[in-house]
Amino acid sequence: MKILKLKYPLLLAALLSLGSCNNYLDINDSPNNIGAEQMTPVVVLPGAITNNYRVQARRLNFVTGVFMNSYAGNSYSYGTPLVDEYTPNISDSFYNDIWDDFYRNSANFQAIIDFKDDKAEYVQYKAIAKVMKAYYMGIITDLYGDAPYSEAFKFQNNTTPKYDKGEDIYKASIADIENAIAAFNSGQGLNPSSADVVFQGDATKWVAFANTLKLRFLLRMSKVTGDMGTYRDQKLATLAGAQFLTADATVNPGYSSKTNAQQNPYTNYFYITSALTRPQNFGMITASENIAIALNGNPTNDTRPFYQKYNGIVDGRRGRMFSLVSGRVEGVRQGATPGQPGAEAGRSVSRIHYGIVMGNLTPTSNQQLVDYSSQKSGVLISLAETKFLLAEAAIRYPSLFSNATTNFNAGITASFNYFGASATSAAYITAIQAVPGLGIAAGSTENKIEAIMTQKWIALTGVNPEQSYFDYSRTGYPQSPLPTITSRDSRPNRLMYPGSEYATNTNNVPAMSSADAFTKNKLTPFWNRN
């Protein structure tokens, strides 16, 4: 692992924030004039958060949206798109920028944590940095397994950090979350105010976010046994009666349509630029046949078993999530080319639409189209995900959590509200309740878990699909077909370590082959080995 060798770590953190789209980092316009004394947490925190979100909203969203069979490639216009994602060609260069950029940007959080603060002015900043470091190191661990942690982010003092076990990263991250909660509750130090691009210095909301993130970590470990199972249960008990998010947790440093750099990073990667032109991904990415069947209510009576639960239930979110063609979502079967099943000749296809890129807003002009989509806040943890986490916790751990049905229905309602389809949520909830695997009122405990994961998948499509990918790896739900051109019999359990690690941290990075990504072994994320 190679992070630039500079004398002042926080100066490095600021330099790593170059290109951030908000006014808080105007000092970075002339980096040669920056002095280390200016690089306080006030300067670094906004870029630390927004730069990591940029990676999440683009590359991570793209690949996990494909893995979850929500996105498909437009083979009508691009021939054989997404071959690497469909096959998938897992290698040390496959989406290697996710690892590289998350680590590079997360150095900002560590620099804030390590900032010398004799007067205890930056206690709240450090607490935020601890929570956000935990947030992104959780994603790294879930996506790659063991990773540098205890020796990472030490800059020139250690450019070849050892790899820590995923279990230890989880424990350390949860400890950071708990320490941060104590700091938030103390009220000590300066209020981050506008430098906090998530909650504008509201410590109560940060506590709720931290508790929700902690619950996400612990539920990810639902299958672990032994000492880690005991640890999970002990930590779950500390969340009984805790406060969780009551609204979407979002990042917004001042996104606008003025320039591409100032737009929400999802928008100009997937939907529209500040100049009102379409990026390549807008034409290349369509709804998949899989999600079209789910949203349309399986109107063609596809006989595959995992589609039967959708029969006759039209999802009111469909026209908000994807553009409609003749009144319904038209998707492409992953891997199919025109003339093949799932890509019949002469069809128009559905693309990413208003609900995903601008929430509950509807533009009436081209300028509003770019303004609304550019200004939209980026989601870290949605209210829908929060409610589905609480529903799962109530099903799995009823002695600690309750109200599974209430939270499940609230998760669906929150998703409909988010996508701008609130008027149809009640009818949809009524229609699904008695359908095993889709509603929570019917079937076995396993059916209820399937229902939660299915609804969570729909709700997080285009929002945080990586969470559905991790849930699928853990639970096997929702089931969906593999791409027609895949060379594997399952989806990958993880990505490979990037080539940058094999080049610069050779003695520490675990050796692995592409086959290891599809086999449950010591390289698999620890929570998915059972």
User: Of 274, 276, 272, 312, which is closest to residue 295 (Cα–Cα)?
Assistant: 312
pTM of the model: 0.94
Structure tokens that stand for 411 in this block: 């998760």
Predicted confidence at residue 51, as pLDDT, reads: 97
Q: Which residue matches tokens 């790593």?
A: 16
Q: How many CB atoms lie within 10 A of CB 409?
A: 23
Residue ranges of the chain that CATH labels 1.25.40.390: 9-65+90-237+500-528
Q: Rounded CA gap, 350 and 292, in Å?
A: 9
Please tell me the predicted confidence (pLDDT) of residue 37. 57
Q: Which fold has domain 382-463?
A: Four Helix Bundle (Hemerythrin (Met), subunit A) (1.20.120)
Whole-number Å distance between alpha carbons of 189 and 507: 42
State residue 54's pLDDT score. Answer: 98
Q: What pLDDT was estimated at residue 9?
A: 45
- What CA–CA distance (Å, rounded) separates 354 from 331? 17
Sequence-distant (≥ 6) Cβ neighbours of residue 293 within 8 angstroms: 300, 302, 307, 310, 331
What is the C-alpha separation between 278 and 267, in angstroms, rounded?
10
| pLDDT tens-digit map of 119-141 | 999 999 999 999 999 999 999 99
| Amino acid at the residue 392 | E
Write down the pLDDT at residue 424.
Answer: 98
Q: Which pLDDT value is given to residue 413?
A: 99
pLDDT score for 273:
98
Contacts 24+ apart (CB under 8 A), 479-483: 479/306, 480/68, 480/69, 480/290, 480/306, 481/69, 481/290, 481/304, 481/333, 481/334, 482/334, 483/86, 483/87, 483/334, 483/335
Q: Would you state the pLDDT for residue 34?
A: 45
Look at residue 38 in the predicted model and tell me its pLDDT. 66
Q: How far apart are CA 1 and CA 187, in angstroms?
A: 36
Q: What is the pLDDT of residue 39?
A: 82
pLDDT at 157 (0 to 100): 79
List every span in the chain annotated with CATH 1.20.120.840: 382-463
Give the per-residue pLDDT at 10: 46
**For the domain bounded by 9-65+90-237+500-528, which CATH number is listed?**
1.25.40.390
Tokens representing 126 are: 């450090």
Q: What is the pLDDT along the chain (530 residues), one digit of tens a residue?
A: 654 433 334 444 444 443 333 443 333 333 334 445 568 999 999 999 999 999 999 999 999 999 999 999 999 999 999 999 999 999 999 999 999 999 999 999 999 999 999 999 999 999 999 999 999 999 999 999 999 999 999 877 788 999 999 999 999 999 999 999 999 999 999 999 999 999 999 999 999 999 999 999 999 999 999 999 999 999 999 999 999 999 999 999 999 999 999 999 999 999 999 999 999 999 999 999 999 999 999 999 999 999 999 999 999 999 999 999 999 999 999 999 999 999 999 999 999 999 999 999 999 999 999 999 999 999 999 999 999 999 999 999 999 999 999 999 999 999 999 999 999 999 999 999 999 999 999 899 999 999 999 999 999 999 999 999 999 999 999 999 999 999 999 999 999 999 999 999 999 999 999 999 999 999 999 999 98
The three-state secondary structure class of 479 is coil
